[in-house]
Structure 1
Amino acid sequence: MLIRKLFRFENAHIVRNCSSDRCKRSIHGHSYQVEVLLEAHALDNGQMVYDFGLMKDDIRNLIDAFDHAVAFWDEDDADYIAACKQFSARWIALPVSPSAEQFSRMFFTLIDRALSLTDMANGEQDVALHSVIVHETATGYAQCFRADIDNPRIGPVDMQRVVFSEQVISEWSDTTLWQRLLRGKRKHNPRVEQQVISNR
């Protein structure tokens, strides 16, 4: 079974080396929508794949980090990167170009890492990230699947090279989120008292 949670954010970028002159030479913004699809072959004690409320913590924080921020490729022109950092308190340095395709891969990588380090506490079973869809416009989106993460033809996604500005980090509900994910520190979901004990 699949479930889907929709998130939104506003972000600015330049997509270098693309065919559109406007996109590759001028900083511009989009109203992004991100669909996170989780799958499981069993339901938890609440008869859900995964409680939507639990997705409002690490997953929402990771996506919201990109809101009202500028995202840039860490291999871009040094003067451009310096200007992004100087004139925006909210910025993210990425090891890939901030295209919709790479955004979908970045979010898949970040969310998958967060889920893999989460100890479930309400009977969840085999919950996995199915895919991530990033809508850049009303008519265009990119969808990332697990096979797209380790695909040598697409290239690696190096989490160690992702850098969030101090302002972004300071606004997270858990300011240790990024270091926790990088260091592989586990997180425990809250325990839930069972109100109804099913005999099935």
Structure 2
Amino acid sequence: MFEVTVQAGFSSGHYLRNYNGKCENPHGHNYRVLVTLVGAELDETGLLLDFKLLKHVLRPTVDYLDHQMINDLEPFITLNPSAENLAKYFFDNTATQLDEMTSGRVRVKDCTVFETDTSFARYFEQL
């Protein structure tokens, strides 16, 4: 199997609902997102997926969240904007686009969302 990973970043605010502590108040993060793809076959160029193309796939999701109050955006109006839920959001958005682009040759292995340099959440599904 082959893997490739790209990193993206964005700055946003959020607050956690049904949480008792500082994070129930509006606050911000400089988020860092890592998306790892996996596949058994390379393309005719010898790539699993061009890094530039994967960054292009991530750009609409990053732009949607960047410099926003995440709680004011779908699906986070009702879904708590935790790092865990953001990781799944990136996973789902990336997986949908990749399936269309590569006919299933390339899949999302996992998505990791860092809220700080030392705190992150990861979402993955069994392959």
Is TM (by shorter chain) over 0.5?
Answer: yes
Q: Give me the whole-angstrom Cα distance separating, in 1, the residues matched to 2:92 and 2:104.
A: 21
Q: Give me the whole-angstrom Cα distance separating, in 2, the residues matched to 1:113 and 1:70.
A: 25
Q: Which amino acid aligns with 2:22?
A: R
- Give 1:108 shift: 0.8
User: Which has the higher relative contact order, 1 or 2, with Cα contacts under 8 A spaced 6 or more apart?
Assistant: 2
Q: Which amino acid aligns with 1:107?
A: F
The unaligned stretches of length 5 or more in structure 1 are 73-90, 148-200
Q: Give me the whole-angstrom Cα distance separating, in 2, the residues matched to 1:13 and 1:133.
A: 18
Please tell me whether the aligned partners of residues 41 and 125 of structure 1 are also in contact (alpha carbons under 8 angstroms).
no
From 84, 101, 121, the counterpart of 1:142: 121
Q: Give me the whole-angstrom Cα distance separating, in 2, the residues matched to 1:38 and 1:23.
A: 31
Q: Give me the whole-angstrom Cα distance separating, in 1, the residues matched to 2:92 and 2:13.
A: 21
Q: Percent identity over the alignment? A: 29
Q: Give me the whole-angstrom Cα distance separating, in 2, the residues matched to 1:69 and 1:116.
A: 28
1:22 alignment counterpart: 22
Written as runs of structure 1 = structure 2, the 5 A alignment for 1:1-200 is 1-19=2-20, 21-24=21-24, 26-72=25-71, 91-93=72-74, 94=76, 95-118=78-101, 120=102, 126-147=105-126
Q: Give me the whole-angstrom Cα distance separating, in 1, the residues matched to 2:104 and 2:48.
A: 8
Q: Give me the whole-angstrom Cα distance separating, in 1, the residues matched to 2:40 and 2:56.
A: 23
Number of residues of Structure 1 aligned to a counterpart in Structure 2: 123
Please tell me whether the aligned partners of residues 99 and 106 of structure 2 are also in contact (alpha carbons under 8 angstroms).
no
SS at match of 1:117: helix
Please tell me whether the aligned partners of residues 5 and 37 of structure 1 are also in contact (alpha carbons under 8 angstroms).
yes
Q: Give me the whole-angstrom Cα distance separating, in 2, the residues matched to 1:18 and 1:117.
A: 38
Please tell me whether the aligned partners of residues 44 and 125 of structure 1 are also in contact (alpha carbons under 8 angstroms).
no
The unaligned stretches of length 5 or more in structure 2 are none
SS at match of 1:64: helix
Q: Give me the whole-angstrom Cα distance separating, in 1, the residues matched to 2:17 and 2:7.
A: 28
Structure showing greater Rg: 1
- Give 1:57 shift: 2.4
Q: Give me the whole-angstrom Cα distance separating, in 2, the residues matched to 1:101 and 1:54.
A: 25
Please, what is the CA RMSD of the aligned residues?
1.7
